[in-house]
């Protein structure tokens, strides 16, 4: 019972990290508009860094076959391509149902879907760690919290760029973060099934992140090509990758102790 309570508490703590993006509610609209492109660039770095530095290597360590993991990641990319086609088809067929000025772009919806899947995977990792050892569960939770904060900042930037108002972006991002809890409950109830599903879910999540970053977010960054945006967005992109690399080092040091 203590393990179950600790797992749920840790999952809720990770979900609450999404509220770190609430700063968007207090920034003046003009300033928020200026920083959104840099938040989107941060999101690109975090998503690609998470996919290539964290999710895919973790999947390879569990699966043992690089080619199988790469193929599964490609299936993830393909799946998100089909999913976005469906989202855009629905968007196109309902274009007259909302004013043009308040349309929500598909990139925002895709980001929410990808984030929800990723958080579900985080829930599996948290619960699996607590079931193995409470100390391991705590270190895993701390590592996930560390990479959630920069990711949530980038996610909210993507949602704002996709047409959501600041309050909507923060709330919807929080709702997606709650998928950590069902992932944890799924593992607590069906631990063997959940553990084996990670070899599929990790590379699929990675494929989704690669697709969202490359297909939806990077083209947005090319809308502004001034020297200021080149320098600022490149620095934000690199910072996102650096965050993910630093978190991997942090995770390894936690596990070593």
Residue with tokens 């690199």: 238
Q: How far apart are CA 167 and CA 160, in angstroms?
A: 10
As averages over each run of 10 residues, the pLDDT of the chain (257 residues) reads: 85 88 79 84 89 89 91 93 80 46 78 88 87 79 80 84 88 92 89 79 89 88 77 90 85 69
Q: How far apart are CA 57 and CA 226, in angstroms?
A: 36
Distances (CA, A) of 74 to 39, 43, 132: 26, 21, 31
Q: How far apart are CA 108 and CA 212, in angstroms?
A: 10
* SS3 at position 225: coil
pLDDT of residue 99: 38
Of the candidates 175, 158, 177, the residue with the CA atom closest to the CA atom of residue 43:
158
pTM of the model: 0.78
Q: How far apart are CA 13 and CA 33, in angstroms?
A: 29
pLDDT of residue 92: 55
- H or E stretch covering 163: none
pLDDT of residue 78: 95
Q: Give me the phi and psi of 26, to 5 degrees please.
A: -105, -10
Q: Give me the phi and psi of 246, to 5 degrees please.
A: -65, -35
Q: Name every residue whose Cβ is closer than 8 Å to that of residue 82 and which is 6 or more positions away in sequence.
A: none
């Amino acid at each position: 019972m203590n393990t179950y309570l600790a797992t749920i508490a840790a999952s809720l703590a990770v979900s609450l990290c999404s509220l770190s993006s609430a700063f968007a509610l207090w920034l003046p609209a003009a300033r928020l508009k200026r920083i959104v492109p840099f938040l989107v660039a941060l999101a690109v770095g975090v998503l690609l860094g998470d996919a290539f530095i964290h999710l895919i290597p973790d999947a390879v360590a569990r699966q043992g076959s690089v080619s199988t993991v790469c193929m599964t990641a490609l299936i993830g990319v393909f799946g998100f391509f089909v999913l976005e086609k469906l989202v855009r088809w629905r968007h196109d067929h309902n274009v007259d149902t909302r004013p043009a000025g308040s349309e929500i772009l598909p990139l925002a919806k895709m980001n929410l879907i990808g984030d929800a899947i990723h958080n579900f995977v985080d829930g599996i990792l948290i619960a699996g760690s607590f079931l193995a050892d409470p100390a391991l569960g705590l270190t895993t939770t701390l590592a996930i919290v560390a990479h959630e904060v920069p990711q949530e900042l980038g996610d909210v930037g993507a949602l704002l760029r996709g047409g959501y108002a600041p309050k909507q972006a923060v709330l919807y991002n929080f709702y997606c973060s709650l998928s950590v809890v069902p992932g944890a409950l799924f593992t607590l109830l069906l631990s063997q099934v959940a553990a084996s599903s990670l070899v599929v879910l990790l590379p699929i999540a990675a494929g989704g992140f690669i697709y969202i970053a490359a297909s939806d977010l990077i083209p947005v960054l090319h809308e502004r090509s001034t020297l200021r945006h080149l320098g600022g967005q490149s620095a934000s992109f690199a910072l996102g990758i650096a965050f993910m690399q630093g978190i991997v080092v942090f995770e390894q040091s936690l596990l070593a102790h």
